[in-house]
Each structure stands twice: as structure tokens, then as C-alpha cells.
């Protein structure tokens, strides 16, 4: 395959991936309040109404709270789990990774129904707590997958040399291992935040609390609100900027 065809192929992939987002961003400035492709004029009123919609802002607050809290907890647990898995024997590591990858391979609807039945059986009410636990559960495997490659790139001699020089295992991990795997930890954290914000199916089955995805589902099924376009555009812009910053930090870390 020639370089021109390769570039064309990659360009088409990016076009199909980002064209809907570009259209969404453009129509967040459309003066029309209907779901039509007709352009009625340029306006900022949907952004203004976004900050006047208390129900939408409440759903956004719930979404951000669940996303960041679940991501922090999942990152801590996932990082510790990745370190433990990395130190296992090859056979045990393969078995544990197969079990760890089950939530990733499972359809969301299966995970959502399974967690809902578990909460009902245990007696946990379906609300913000069950929603938080669900997001922590499906975020942990993605953190493990992000951190493990960085652990595989480590030079074990550095850790052993620190122990020989009198450092405690905890101190050696904190000063030597963690700085080296930090890009993987940050990637796992951002991955967890993004997946939590994006999730609908698991949230729908495991909580009666209305987060942003459930709010959008209910709003679109009843009456279309163009403020959703404005909110989606702002969220995409913020996440895109964060990913650019993290990518630049990772490049600088690798160069150093």
C-alpha cells in the first residue's frame, strides 16, 4: 500500500470519527430549536440557557462527582493491583489478567444487570452510592491495562539497588517505581474519567440518580433541547484540552 493510500485511509477514519462532533459543535450555535439540518442563524443563547437549566446542571454535577471520585479510587486500586499482578508468576499472571479483562469484554448491559441484581441481593439502595460503586468496578480493569505496560518497561535493578542502599520497600516504590509509571497512572485516570462520563447502560441499571447520560436520554426521548449540544461541545473541548496537556507531559517525560 502506497503512502498516499495510507494517508487517505487514516484521513477517512478520522473523518468518520470526528465529523459528528464537528456537526454537533456547529449546531450548538444554530438559532433553531428543532432537530433539523436547517441553519437559522448564529446564536449563543443555547449556552446561556445551559447555565439557567438547574436540572441539567444538577445532572452535570452528579456526573463530574461520580467521574472524578470513581476515577481516583479506581486509579489507586488499579495501580496497586497492577503492581501485584506484575510481580506474579507468568501462569498466575495469565489467569488473573483473564479474570481482570472480563468486565472489559462483557457487554455493558450484562455488567449493568449483574450489578443491579447484586445491589438488590445485598440490600444496597439504587442511588448515588450504587452508581459510584458501579463506576469504580468497571474502571479498575482499564487502569490496570494502562499501568501494566509501564511496569514492564521498568529496570528492576534500580529498585533492587535502592534496597541494597538501605531504602525500605515502601520508600523505594514511592521514589523510584511511582515516578516511572506515573504516565501510565495518569492515562488510566483520564481513561476512567472519560469512561465514567460516557457510560449510560450501567448507570441506567444501577442507579435512580440522574446523571448526565440519563438526563440526555430522558430529555431527547421527551423533547429535544438544543442546550444539550452546547453542553456536549463544552465537555468535548475540556476533555480534548486535558488530553493534549497530558500527551505533551508524556512526551517531555520520555525525552528526559
Give the domain CATH number at 134: 1.10.3720.10
Quick check: is 41 in a domain?
Answer: no
Cα separation, 208 vs 157, whole angstroms: 51
pLDDT in tens, the chain (256 residues): 577 888 888 888 888 888 888 888 888 888 777 666 677 778 888 888 888 888 888 888 899 999 999 999 999 999 999 988 888 888 888 888 888 888 888 888 999 999 999 999 998 898 889 999 999 999 999 999 989 888 888 777 777 777 777 777 777 777 788 888 888 888 889 889 888 988 889 999 998 888 888 888 887 777 777 788 888 888 888 778 877 776 776 666 565 5
Quick check: is 44 in a domain?
Answer: no
* Number of structural domains in the chain: 1
Quick check: is 137 in a domain?
Answer: yes
Residue ranges making up the domain that contains 112: 52-154+182-255
Quick check: is 141 in a domain?
Answer: yes
Cα separation, 184 vs 193, whole angstroms: 14
Quick check: is 60 in a domain?
Answer: yes
pTM, full prediction: 0.81
Quick check: is 114 in a domain?
Answer: yes
Quick check: is 163 in a domain?
Answer: no
Cα separation, 28 vs 227, whole angstroms: 7
Determine the number of helices (DSSP H) and then strands (DSSP E) in the chain: 13, 0
Quick check: is 164 in a domain?
Answer: no
> CA nearest 159: which of 138, 132, 178, 142?
178
Backbone conformation region of residue 166, classed left if phi is above 0, alpha if psi is from -120 to 50, else beta: left
Amino acid at each position: 500500500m502506497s503512502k498516499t493510500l495510507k494517508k487517505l485511509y487514516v484521513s477517512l477514519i478520522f473523518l468518520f470519527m470526528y465529523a459528528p462532533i464537528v456537526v454537533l459543535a456547529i449546531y450548538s450555535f444554530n438559532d433553531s430549536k428543532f432537530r433539523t439540518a436547517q441553519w437559522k442563524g448564529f446564536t449563543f443563547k443555547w449556552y446561556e440557557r445551559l447555565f439557567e437549566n438547574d436540572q441539567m446542571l444538577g445532572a452535570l454535577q452528579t456526573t463530574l462527582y461520580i467521574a472524578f471520585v470513581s476515577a481516583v479510587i479506581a486509579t489507586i486500586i488499579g495501580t496497586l493491583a497492577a503492581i501485584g499482578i506484575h510481580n506474579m508468576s507468568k501462569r498466575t499472571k495469565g489467569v488473573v489478567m483473564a479474570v481482570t479483562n472480563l468486565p472489559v469484554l462483557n457487554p455493558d448491559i450484562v455488567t449493568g444487570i449483574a450489578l443491579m441484581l447484586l445491589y438488590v441481593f445485598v440490600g444496597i439502595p439504587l442511588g448515588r452510592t450504587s452508581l459510584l460503586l458501579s463506576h469504580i468496578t468497571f474502571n479498575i480493569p482499564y487502569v490496570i491495562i494502562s499501568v501494566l505496560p509501564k511496569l514492564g518497561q521498568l529496570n528492576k535493578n534500580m529498585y533492587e539497588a535502592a534496597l541494597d542502599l538501605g531504602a525500605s520497600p515502601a520508600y523505594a516504590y514511592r521514589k523510584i517505581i511511582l515516578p516511572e509509571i506515573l504516565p501510565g497512572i495518569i492515562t488510566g485516570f483520564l481513561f476512567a474519567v472519560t469512561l465514567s462520563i460516557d457510560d449510560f447502560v450501567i448507570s441506567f441499571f444501577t442507579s435512580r440518580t440522574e446523571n448526565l447520560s440519563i438526563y440526555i436520554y430522558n430529555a431527547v426521548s421527551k423533547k429535544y433541547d438544543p442546550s444539550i449540544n452546547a453542553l456536549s461541545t463544552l465537555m468535548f473541548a475540556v476533555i480534548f484540552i486535558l488530553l493534549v496537556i497530558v500527551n505533551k507531559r508524556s512526551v517531555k517525560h520520555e525525552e528526559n
